[in-house]
Amino acid sequence: MVRPEASAGSRGRPSVERFFQFSLLGLVASGYLAVAGSGYLDVPTVVLTALGLLLRGLSICGWVRLDLSERAATLATLAYIAFFPVDYFLLSHEFLPATVHLVFFLAVMKILTARSNRDYLYTAVIAFLELLAAAILSINFNFFLCLTLYLFFAMAALTSGEIRRSIDRATTTARGGLRRFHPRLAALTVAVTLGILALTAGLFFLLPRTADAAFARLISHRIFIPGFSNQVTLGEIGEIKTSSRPVMHIQIFSRESPGALKWRGGALTEFDGKRWFNANPVKLPVSLQNGYLAADSSAYGHSGRFINYRVDVDALDSDALFFAGIPERVDLRYPDLYRTETGCLRLQQIPPQGFQYSASSLLPDPPESARIPYPPPVLRLAERAQYLQLPSLDPRIPSLARAMTGGAATDLERARALERRLRGDYGYTLLLPARELADPLSYFLFVRKKGHCEYFASALAVMLRTLGIPARLATGFQSGLYNPISDLWLVRASDAHSWVEAWIPGYGWTTFDPTPPDPNPPAFTLFSTLGLYLDAAETFWQRWVVGYDPGRQGTLAYQVERVSRLGLRWFDAISGARSQWDARAGAWFRRFGVRLLWVLLAAFWIWAVVPRLVRLLRMHHRVRRVRRGQASVADATLLYERMLHLLKRRGYQKPAWFTPAEFASSLAPAPLRMAVDEFTATYNALRFGGRTEVAPRLSLLLDELERQKR
């Protein structure tokens, strides 16, 4: 005969086992997502590992039957170990990627074949190693999200594993059952996880450190934007504009909207028909005064307005610094700096991720409304010849330039005419030509008549040069997207842009942008809003977690002190108003307070007492009907629930998986057990046998149980 305790354990075991298996799978999946989110896994590894985790999940649900023997798993592992040299020498060509492939293959095989406690321990170790690898490879906010998931599933696996072990070793059954086991255990897991995160967050912000000491990066994972080195081929910027990866975050200290800004990072002077480049770049050393850059002399005499801003560079593979307008003052705190012949500022090496600088720039007025600079800028003859250099061109291009500028009298009018015609007569697209072209510029102007910014800027610069107007190609980014959550301008790789700078006599280098707007701009949807929230979280993570140092700690302490002082001032300001409010509230309470108290007491009595009283009256009425011999089969359930209520008050609660007979036989005191045995037999006769004549006996047994309780 099977004991009731064993029966309860056998029935509760599958529920706990499934919860434990899902917790362990979530533990491994969170570690896998952390590594995959770092960007260092190739697509086959990401896809195959995800399929292995999905297959394990389907197997736990019982939708897929998976029965891999240890022999088959061992043979597959040996086969992949033999395949490792092939992957290393022919496919990956590097030791680290090939080793990562091997480790993830072994992890998937262990997950699919885990059956014993030792296998489960190995699986948990694999998940921990995945998270540890992600901590080394990634410093982004998605690692924190995966860490939170890892902690959640770790708590769930530990608690359910302990319950699972206790069920296996249990010799008695607890009085309370596994009612609502999964929600309660999940709530406990969430509470423990939040507690751990809260405690570690407190320690995190109390202990200062440097970002280099907190995180280590083994491999550079930057994004390359062409045009900021010394050359750009037509079509390259169009390829990078398909990426939405953030490259900069800019905070502009201005109450007024700065409008459409161009963040200039480079300028190219020579064109060979397919690419722009700087043949012999000149590096002019720049002197810093206490970490500040001296004012740019090219800004003298120009009219316009000034803006102040701070630039945070994320992961840009370039030594260029980006400025709006003409930078007059730069707070760099970086010793190695130089200026190019085109007026661009560059570092001697690529800065680390998280590098930032502040600047004050002049946004010059357009030449049509600007004050004439004094002294007027002068372009030297050698530079003028450099900016008029042209390769062998299609003869239709100079003719088109003259036709578009017919009637224009000055260089400024000719440049504006070309800018308007290109913006109005040609279309914008990011689709590149299907094949490599011998003369891409001619194909754009006379055949395709649509393209992206590189083609428009190249066409304008070349046509200006055919008219004798010095011009060059400028590269950088558009203003970006304002994020009201973080109060920062988000500049993505898709904001990469090129435009034209032409020399206008008496004014100097002037910006012209012939590129028309995108006819299909990205819509502002729920996903874009969610992206802004994620970007704000990523910004907070990089600034206050990755870059949290003693300086950040001091800033945080200062802000907390300001908030506390503001609270004290606010308290002082409202103290007078509070005294007046207290006087009015006291008078009102003296007038209506007693009535309000009686109303609240009556409402509480109706809410707390009346429903219970109604239930007791209904039960008392039905018990009287039973004693008069007017019972029905439905009354059996009511009487049995009354019996369970009496036993619960004595400390005995029936588990959900116990039958009435099993519950009666599990009670220890002999008199109580005998009474419940008889009550259960009588209940079964009334409930399932339809014998209404035994109903009065149930009432008498309830009275007996009530007397035993007293």
Confidence category of residue 394, pLDDT binned at 50, 70, 90: very high
Best-predicted range by mean pLDDT among 133-147, 294-308, 377-391? 377-391
Which single residue is written with the structure tokens 């200026």?
Answer: 339
Query: Can you give the pLDDT at residue 171?
Result: 44
Query: Can you give the pLDDT at residue 119?
Result: 83
Best-predicted range by mean pLDDT among 117-126, 305-314, 567-576? 305-314
Q: Per-residue pLDDT for 174 more than 50? A: no
pLDDT tens digit string along 138-158? Answer: 666 777 788 888 888 888 888
By three-state DSSP, how is residue 439 classified? coil
A 10 A CB-CB count for 75 gives 11
Identity of residue 150 = Y
Q: State mean pLDDT over 214-222.
A: 44
Mean pLDDT, the chain, rounded, equals: 77
- The region that residue 67 occupies, defined by phi over 0 for left and psi between -120 and 50 for alpha, beta otherwise, is beta
Q: Which of 97-101, 106-110, 245-249, 615-619 has the lowest mean pLDDT?
A: 615-619
Q: Which of 312-321, 474-483, 628-637 has the lowest mean pLDDT?
A: 628-637
Confidence category of residue 8, pLDDT binned at 50, 70, 90: very low
Dihedral angle, C-alpha 225, 230, 236, 239, nearest 10 °: 0
Note the helical H segments in 609-654: 610-627, 634-649
Q: Is the pTM of this model over 0.85?
A: no
Quick check: bond before 375 cis, omega within 30? yes
State percent of the chain over pLDDT 90: 14
- Distance, CA of 76 to CA of 610 (rounded, Å): 69
Which single residue is written with the structure tokens 């109303």?
Answer: 599
- Distance, CA of 254 to CA of 361 (rounded, Å): 12
Q: Which of 71-80, 491-500, 663-672 has the lowest mean pLDDT?
A: 663-672
- Distance, CA of 225 to CA of 266 (rounded, Å): 11
pLDDT tens digit string along 26-57? Answer: 888 888 888 887 767 778 888 888 888 888 88
